[in-house]
């Protein structure tokens, strides 16, 4: 690997100086793509015919990247990692991808995900499971599993992702890289296959904070095709990374971060928190105030259920368009409803079907008040609790998950009651549409672990600058996965 | 015992006059070529998002104001979830009564058989239309041109008591929609579709008390006003008969029926027990937005003169009869045609006679609209002028009218080409009169000045010679003078 382990700025410099050409970068990226595909199964499609692009003043020009397979890409297979769309070639681009293309970016592959973004394991895609490039017996988490795997393995400097619960930020953590989802609506959702519209965000996975800022600078912008997008032309993410965070105020939540809150904490968990508090100490050294705050445990305990109810409800409706009548393989049967039933029965994995059943159940008029409406109310309470914190603090800083990547087998798939909030708190970032970034903060048994920084809506610059400063105090910036097993 | 009916309507009107569809930038236009006006949104491709058409919202709010409804502080849309092949997303973006739609709790005053009536409006909401399906012998084809067109659904309280009242209300609303510039309301293009709710109640009971209400039967998709009237009549008869025969409880059940135009009956579709649970929830892709007072005021100020006001003006300013005025204002485009003709200088009474007479019967006979007729207000003005200045007789004018439409020529040109100009030159007429007199000495002998019909023969001869072009008044006067002189 000569180039693909480098940062965007380094590559841009080399392209400008004529040390390397766009063509050579693409060739290397494609070569590694095939190796990574062989080893970890990270791609739905590898674009062997990807063409070099002219190098302009845009940092992204001529540089290869990966696009998650739920981005609609004109003329290129876009499956959402689902059998229901296994042959679907869109005739229009997602706005975010169109913007990257305009910047001169070169898509070299489409990355595997959990089917339509539903799932956090990278194991439910129709092309098979994605393996963690640090340890093949472990998962990448999901749903942006292929993107996280590929960036960590050094296929290219960045791949796009989408994040409905933690689908960018959790895989980034498990793969030892950076995962950033900006404020809701900063990047247009037009052309992103929807999972849960009120929670869906687009974002990016990179190996350093600045690259994340550069890529999102190029993806964002108001879009006439997405009414929830907003004008962010005054926000310049990459330019705002000064590294000066003196006087910024951070907080962490006692109910999540205090080891005494857990009855029989594992050594792994202790070490995870240890890493986290080392990072907190570094934050203080940078001149930031960090305080412990408390949030009602009852409210925190409701977090995961709120997510299930709202995301399943919206998903079941959003994915009703998948019938195989207008696009997708036509199901068998004599009538349209028989054909639709056959197509959906055969096309969706059992996990998705389970979620559709939950979604339909909570929306039924007899259940809606008890489940869906209550979930919306608790969502509001949680968002308000975080917004209260943002009145006093610039960001909330928390550990991601309960440790390093989980095994495919052995680790209990069901969330343990104790660590459920620890595992799922990133979802608050989706409830509130908050800008949120995950960066690696250490290793446990040679496997990466991470922390997350989440700030108030529209404060993306502050959140990124804090992450950027903190990243500078640690040694994990730009790291490429080293297989331990 | 007598019964009275309680009838409510759900009137769906396609807002056919927006440029684009309600949530997509595809053209809103009736087209015979299938699937011509579509964008990815209209076919529910993965990743598409709705974008609200401001013009459609404006039209909806305008209508809401005319219906005396309350407008919401915030605009919301809801998703109605159900599977049907004419709806590619398998949910419809619409509005529910909670939170409030574009209009709620209003009323409309309308006329039925010359009497004023009032119907309460429960709500009016804006939603997207479905595609249209054609059921062929062994297959169904879907045309997505209509999918996503803005649709206004008006829900009334059960205040109608007869099919005639419901029909009069629909006529009234068609006028309102046309005058507001919301819809052409062309039933041939499926712009108006109705669902009808009918129940009956003992005449002596108070219809305000819900505990007195009978079983409500819903008749879906009645697509003509006459159909609405007839299906109500049929349902009242059916339900009354069941009451009288003692089979009401078993025969009249809460259900959805459909109107069968051919047999003139309603047929059961499904019982309410099988009703679909639409799983409504707020559409997450459309942020709720505040309707500012300024915008609402602006919309209110843009409401044009409606049919009722126009009618009053025709009666007061032009001294037209109520009967004629009613006919003129019934279709906005007809009324506009009339107004334009008057504005161009034609006499209102004559213009009214032409529009309500020759023009309307031509449209009806040929089953076309006023947009499709070759005659323009300018041409009608010219035609009227040709009569006024005696260039042609009113009898000739009818021929000119027919020729204009037949040959697609302007009236002036028809008159010129057909040589229809009247001879009004005294010298020419005198020459012909003298000719006729010279050729008919016998007739002069038998001419009786006291007999008013005695002149007819001579005038007939003049007309024959001039092929009808001699000005009849002048010819008559001159002939009579000469004959009377000869007889002296």
Dihedral over Cα of B343, B346, B352, B356: its sign: negative
Task: Verify whether the Cβ–Cβ distance B91 to A198 is below 8 Å.
Answer: no
Which domain does A36 fall in, by range? 8-245
State the DSSP string of B239-277. HHHHHHHT-HHHHS-SEEEEEETTTTEEEEEEEGGG---
CB-hemisphere CA count at 13 Å for B402? 6
Interface test with B, best of A344, A360, A363, A367 (most B CBs within 10 A): A363
> Cβ atoms within 10 A of the Cβ of B169, count?
25
State the DSSP string of A179-248. EEE-STTSS--TTBPPS-TTT-EEEEEESSHHHHHHHHHHH---BTTBTT----TT--TGGG-----TT-
pTM score, whole prediction: 0.88
Which residues in B lie closer than 8 A to residue A226 (C-beta atoms)? 49, 51, 285
Task: Verify whether the Cβ–Cβ distance B47 to A322 is below 8 Å.
Answer: no
Of B162, B199, B179, which is closest to residue B59 (Cα–Cα)? B179
Residue B271 has what pLDDT? 74
Task: Verify whether the Cβ–Cβ distance B47 to A192 is below 8 Å.
Answer: yes
Which residues in A lie closer than 8 A to residue B277 (C-beta atoms)? 364-365
- Over its C-alpha atoms, chain A yields an Rg (Å, rounded) of 21
Interface test with A, best of B26, B42, B47, B142 (most A CBs within 10 A): B47
Nearest residue of A to residue B47, measured between CA atoms: A191
Is residue A94, in this structure, part of any structural domain at all? yes
The alpha-carbon gap from B279 to the nearest alpha carbon of chain A, in Å, equals 5
Interface test with B, best of A76, A81, A190 (most B CBs within 10 A): A190
Which residues in B lie closer than 8 A to residue A80 (C-beta atoms)? 46
Retrieve residue A307's tokens.
Answer: 């997510």
Is residue A178, in this structure, part of any structural domain at all? yes
From the list A225, A321, A323, the residue facing B49 with the nearest CB is A225
The alpha-carbon gap from B298 to the nearest alpha carbon of chain A, in Å, equals 24
B22 part of contact set with chain A, CB < 8 Å: no
Nearest residue of B to residue A327, measured between CA atoms: B45
- The CATH code of the domain that includes A13 is 3.90.1300.10
Instruction: Assess whether the previous peptide bond of A143 is cis (omega < 30° from 0).
Output: yes
**Measured between alpha carbons, how far is residue A150 from residues A34, A104, A224, A481, A482 in Å?**
11, 20, 32, 10, 13
Task: Verify whether the Cβ–Cβ distance A317 to B45 is below 8 Å.
Answer: no
- Over its C-alpha atoms, chain B yields an Rg (Å, rounded) of 30
Task: Verify whether the Cβ–Cβ distance A364 to B279 is below 8 Å.
Answer: yes
Each residue's pLDDT expressed in tens, for chain A with a length of 485 residues: 789 999 999 999 999 999 999 999 999 999 999 999 999 999 999 999 999 999 999 999 999 999 999 999 999 999 999 999 999 999 999 999 999 999 999 999 999 999 999 999 999 999 999 999 999 999 999 999 999 999 999 999 999 999 999 999 999 999 999 999 999 999 999 999 999 999 999 999 999 999 999 999 999 999 999 999 999 999 999 999 999 999 999 999 999 999 999 988 999 999 999 999 999 999 999 999 999 999 999 999 999 999 999 999 999 999 999 999 999 899 999 999 999 999 999 999 999 999 999 999 999 999 999 999 999 999 999 999 999 999 999 999 999 999 999 999 865 545 577 889 999 999 999 999 999 999 999 999 999 999 999 999 999 999 999 999 999 999 999 999 999 86
Task: Verify whether the Cβ–Cβ distance A224 to B83 is below 8 Å.
Answer: no
Is residue A214, in this structure, part of any structural domain at all? yes
| Number of domains within chain A | 1
Interface test with B, best of A326, A331, A361, A457 (most B CBs within 10 A): A326
How many contacts does A have with B, using Cβ atoms within 8 A?
94
Region B426-487: CATH code: 1.10.10.410
B279 part of contact set with chain A, CB < 8 Å: yes
Nearest residue of A to residue B284, measured between CA atoms: A198
Residue B189 has what pLDDT? 86
The alpha-carbon gap from B31 to the nearest alpha carbon of chain A, in Å, equals 21
Interface test with B, best of A71, A88, A317, A327 (most B CBs within 10 A): A317
Task: Verify whether the Cβ–Cβ distance A90 to B46 is below 8 Å.
Answer: yes
**What are the φ and ψ backbone dihedral angles of B190, each rounded to 5 degrees?**
70, 25
B284 part of contact set with chain A, CB < 8 Å: yes
Residue B474 has what pLDDT? 85
Is residue A135, in this structure, part of any structural domain at all? yes
B285 part of contact set with chain A, CB < 8 Å: yes
Extents of the domains making up chain B: 3-296, 307-417, 426-487
Which residues in A lie closer than 8 A to residue B79 (C-beta atoms)? 317
Of B10, B285, B24, B58, which is closest to residue B148 (Cα–Cα)? B24
Q: Which residue numbers in chain B have pLDDT < 50?
A: none
State the DSSP string of B136-150. -SS-EEEETTSTT-E
Task: Verify whether the Cβ–Cβ distance B279 to A360 is below 8 Å.
Answer: yes
**Measured between alpha carbons, how far is residue B458 from residues B396, B438, B445, B482, B487 in Å?**
20, 11, 13, 11, 15
Retrieve residue B286's tokens.
Answer: 């459309």
From the list A189, A198, A320, the residue facing B81 with the nearest CB is A320
Which residues in A lie closer than 8 A to residue B280 (C-beta atoms)? 365
Which residues in B lie closer than 8 A to residue A116 (C-beta atoms)? none
Residue B453 has what pLDDT? 83
Is residue A423, in this structure, part of any structural domain at all? no
Is residue A384, in this structure, part of any structural domain at all? no
The alpha-carbon gap from A337 to the nearest alpha carbon of chain B, in Å, equals 8
Q: Which residues of A are catalytically annotated?
A: 68, 143, 167
Which residues in A lie closer than 8 A to residue B43 (C-beta atoms)? 326
Is residue A130, in this structure, part of any structural domain at all? yes
Beta strand ranges found along A357-428 (DSSP E): 395-399
Which residues in A lie closer than 8 A to residue B23 (C-beta atoms)? none
Task: Verify whether the Cβ–Cβ distance A321 to B285 is below 8 Å.
Answer: no
From the list B49, B81, B91, the residue facing A190 with the nearest CB is B49
Which residues in A lie closer than 8 A to residue B90 (C-beta atoms)? 320-321, 323
From the list A189, A314, A325, the residue facing B49 with the nearest CB is A189
**Integer Cα distance of B426 and A475 in angstroms:** 116
The alpha-carbon gap from B62 to the nearest alpha carbon of chain A, in Å, equals 23
Retrieve residue A184's tokens.
Answer: 């809701």
B97 part of contact set with chain A, CB < 8 Å: no
């Amino acid at each position: 690997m000569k180039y693909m382990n480098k940062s965007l700025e380094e590559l841009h410099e080399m392209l400008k100086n004529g040390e390397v050409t766009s063509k050579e970068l693409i060739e290397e990226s494609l070569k590694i793509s095939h190796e990574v595909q062989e080893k970890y199964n990270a791609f739905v499609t590898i674009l062997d015919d990807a063409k070099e692009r002219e190098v302009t003043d845009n940092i992204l020009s001529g540089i290869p990247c990966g696009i998650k397979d739920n981005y609609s890409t004109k003329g290129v297979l876009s499956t959402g990692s689902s059998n229901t769309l296994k042959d679907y070639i869109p005739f229009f681009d997602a706005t975010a991808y169109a913007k990257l293309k305009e910047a001169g970016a070169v898509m070299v592959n489409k990355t595997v995900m959990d089917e339509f973004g539903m799932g956090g394991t990278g194991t439910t895609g129709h092309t098979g499971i994605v393996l963690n490039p640090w340890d093949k017996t472990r998962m990448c988490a999901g749903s942006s599993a292929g993107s996280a795997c590929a960036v960590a393995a050094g296929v290219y400097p960045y791949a796009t992702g989408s994040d409905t619960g933690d689908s960018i930020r959790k895989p980034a953590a498990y793969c030892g890289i950076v995962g950033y989802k900006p404020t809701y609506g900063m990047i247009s959702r037009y052309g992103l296959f929807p999972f849960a519209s009120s929670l869906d965000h687009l974002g990016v996975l990179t190996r350093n904070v600045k690259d994340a800022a550069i890529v999102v600078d190029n993806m964002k912008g108001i879009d006439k095709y997405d009414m929830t997008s907003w004008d962010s032309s005054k926000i310049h993410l990459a330019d705002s990374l000064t590294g000066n965070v003196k006087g910024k105020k951070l907080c962490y939540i006692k109910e999540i971060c205090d080891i005494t809150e857990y009855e029989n904490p594992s050594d792994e968990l202790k070490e995870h928190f240890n890493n986290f508090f080392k990072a907190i100490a570094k934050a203080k050294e940078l001149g930031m105030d960090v305080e412990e705050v408390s949030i009602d445990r009852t409210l925190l305990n409701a977090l995961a259920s709120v997510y299930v109810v709202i995301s399943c409800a919206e998903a079941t409706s959003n994915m009703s368009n998948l019938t195989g009548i207008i696009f997708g393989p036509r199901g068998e049967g004599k009538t349209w409803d028989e054909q639709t039933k056959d197509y959906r029965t055969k096309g969706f994995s059992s996990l998705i079907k389970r979620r559709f059943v939950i979604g339909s159940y909570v929306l039924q008029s007899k259940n809606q008040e008890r489940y869906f409406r209550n979930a919306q109310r608790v969502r509001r309470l949680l968002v308000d609790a975080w917004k209260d914190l943002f009145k006093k603090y610039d960001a909330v800083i928390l550990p991601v998950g309960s440790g390093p990547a989980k095994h495919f087998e052995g680790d209990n798939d069901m969330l343990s009651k104790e660590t459920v909030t620890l595992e799922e708190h990133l979802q608050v970032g989706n409830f509130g549409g908050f800008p949120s970034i995950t960066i690696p903060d250490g290793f446990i048994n040679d496997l990466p672990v991470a922390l997350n920084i989440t700030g108030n809506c529209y404060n993306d610059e502050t959140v990124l600058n804090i992450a950027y400063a903190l990243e500078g105090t640690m040694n994990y910036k730009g790291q490429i996965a080293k297989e331990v097993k | 015992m007598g019964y009275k009916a309680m009838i409510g309507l759900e009137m769906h009107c396609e807002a056919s006059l927006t440029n684009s569809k309600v949530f997509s930038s595809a053209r809103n236009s009736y087209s015979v070529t299938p699937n011509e006006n579509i964008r990815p949104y209209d076919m529910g491709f993965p990743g598409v998002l709705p974008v609200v058409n401001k013009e459609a919202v404006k039209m909806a709010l305008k209508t809401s104001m005319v219906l005396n409804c309350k407008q919401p502080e915030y605009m919301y849309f809801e998703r109605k979830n159900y599977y049907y092949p004419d709806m590619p997303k398998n949910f419809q973006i619409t509005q529910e009564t909670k939170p409030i739609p574009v209009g709620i709790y209003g009323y409309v005053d309308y006329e039925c058989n010359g009497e004023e009536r009032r119907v309460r409006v429960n709500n009016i909401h804006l939603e997207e239309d479905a595609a249209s399906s054609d059921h062929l012998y062994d297959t169904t084809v879907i045309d997505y041109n209509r999918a996503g067109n803005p649709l206004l659904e008006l829900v009334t309280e059960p205040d109608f008591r007869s099919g005639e009242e419901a029909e009069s209300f629909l006529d009234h609303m068609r006028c309102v929609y046309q005058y507001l510039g919301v819809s052409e309301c062309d039933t041939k293009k499926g712009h108006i579709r109705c669902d009808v709710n009918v129940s009956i109640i003992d005449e002596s009971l108070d219809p305000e008390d819900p505990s007195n209400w009978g079983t409500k039967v819903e008749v879906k998709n009645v697509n003509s006003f006459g159909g609405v009237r007839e299906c109500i009549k049929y349902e009242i008869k059916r339900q009354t008969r069941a009451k009288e025969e003692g089979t009401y409880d078993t025969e009249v059940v809460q259900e959805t029926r459909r109107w069968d135009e051919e047999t003139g009956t309603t047929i059961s579709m499904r019982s309410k027990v099988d009703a679909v649970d639409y799983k409504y929830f707020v559409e997450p892709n459309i942020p709720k937005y505040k309707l500012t007072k300024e915008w609402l005021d602006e919309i209110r100020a843009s409401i044009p003169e409606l049919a009722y006001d126009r009618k009053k003006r025709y009666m007061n300013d032009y001294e037209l009869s109520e009967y004629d005025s009613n006919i003129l204002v019934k279709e906005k485009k007809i009324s506009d045609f009339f107004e334009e003709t008057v504005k161009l200088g034609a006499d209102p009474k004559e213009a009214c006679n032409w529009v309500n007479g020759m023009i309307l019967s031509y449209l009806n006979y040929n089953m076309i609209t006023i947009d499709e007729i070759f005659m323009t207000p300018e041409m009608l003005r010219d035609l009227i002028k040709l009569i006024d200045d005696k260039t042609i007789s009113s009898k000739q004018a009818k021929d000119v009218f027919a020729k204009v439409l037949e040959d697609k020529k302007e009236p002036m040109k028809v008159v010129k080409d057909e040589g229809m100009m009247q001879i009004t030159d005294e010298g020419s007429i005198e020459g012909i009169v003298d000719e006729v007199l010279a050729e008919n000495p016998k007739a002069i002998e038998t001419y009786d000045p006291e007999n008013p019909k005695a002149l007819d023969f001579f005038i007939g001869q003049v007309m024959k010679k001039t092929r009808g072009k001699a000005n009849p008044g002048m010819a008559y006067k001159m002939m009579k003078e000469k004959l009377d002189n000869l007889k002296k």
